[in-house]
Amino acid sequence: MSGHSKWSTIKRKKGKTDAARGRMFTRLIREITVSAREGGGDQDSNPRLRTAVAAAKAANMPADNIKKAVQRGTGELPGVTYEEILYEAYGPAGVAILMRTLTDNRNRTVGELRHLLSRFGGNIGETGSVNWVFQRLGQFEIDAKSAPEDTVLEIAMESGATDMSSDGDTFTIISPMAEFDSVRTALERQGIRPTSAELTMVPQSYIRLEGRDAQTMLKLMDAIEDHEDVQNVYANFDIDDELIEEFSAQN
């Protein structure tokens, strides 16, 4: 999983700050609202909403916030209408970047993202230019203290997962998109509650970065993550763990 899992580690460490937590809640609320608008407010018949609500609960979002987000999506409460747009881009050394956005002003969003990329040596690509690098898969993150690794591995593999890794603090499980719900259900039945459960884009190949390119890439990812209209950002870079620790400590 290389750079994909390493960036997840950085996000977990950043997520400990109140500011990052607030941004996470904003993203989750937007996702719930758009999911409910497009597929209705019934989680049983709307898999995307079910996934969004599960992610919100994993982030300890208050139930009332979740309810109001759903109601804004179904029209029971007034709210902003967001448009979902996927931007494809290139970063330092030709790293492929996907940015999934929810915005109420596409011209503002693309202009700001283009400016961010140019600051760090990147640029917006054409539709289809980098999307082929990524595969849509399910990803679960579980606190390593919540259950023995062998137990989690057995549950994951028996329910359809294809990979599991550990960084010492967190177990990361990968599943095919079609098995996402079965893996989540199997974990929950055993009392294992993921800290994160989402459908994500996992790179099928990676570009190794060192030195200035690696530092610039991390700064670019951080800037994109901080943009209020960006829901998710994915990139196919790989860097040394030492740089991850250094960057996390500084940011």
pLDDT class of 182 with cuts at 50, 70, 90: very high
Same domain? For 95 and 185 the reply is: no
Whether pLDDT at 105 is above 90: yes
Over residues 109-168, the pLDDT tens digits come to 999 999 999 999 999 999 999 999 999 999 998 999 999 999 999 999 999 999 998 878
Q: Do residue 35 and residue 97 come from a single domain?
A: no
Q: Mean per-residue pLDDT for 209-216?
A: 91
Tell me the CATH number at 236. Answer: 3.30.70.980
pLDDT tens-digit readout, 81-93: 889 999 999 999 9
Tell me: the pLDDT tens digits for 23-59? Answer: 788 889 999 999 999 999 999 899 899 989 988 888 8
Question: Could you tell me if 8 and 37 lie in one domain?
Answer: yes
**Residue (of 123, 176, 174) closest to 152 by Cα position:** 174
The pLDDT-based confidence of 12 (bands split at 50, 70, 90) is low
Q: Do 199 and 225 reside in the same domain of the chain?
A: no
List the CATH number of the domain containing 16: 1.10.10.200
Contacts 24+ apart (CB under 8 A), 20-29: 21/59, 23/226, 23/228, 24/59, 25/59, 25/61, 25/65, 26/228, 27/102, 27/231, 28/52, 28/55, 28/56, 28/59, 28/61, 28/69, 29/56, 29/61, 29/65, 29/69
Same domain, 68 and 7: yes
What's the total number of domains in the chain? Answer: 3
Range of the domain at 121: 83-125+206-250
Is residue 195 located within the same domain as residue 215? no
HSE of 115, CA atoms in CB hemisphere, 13 A: 7
Q: Say what the pTM is.
A: 0.82
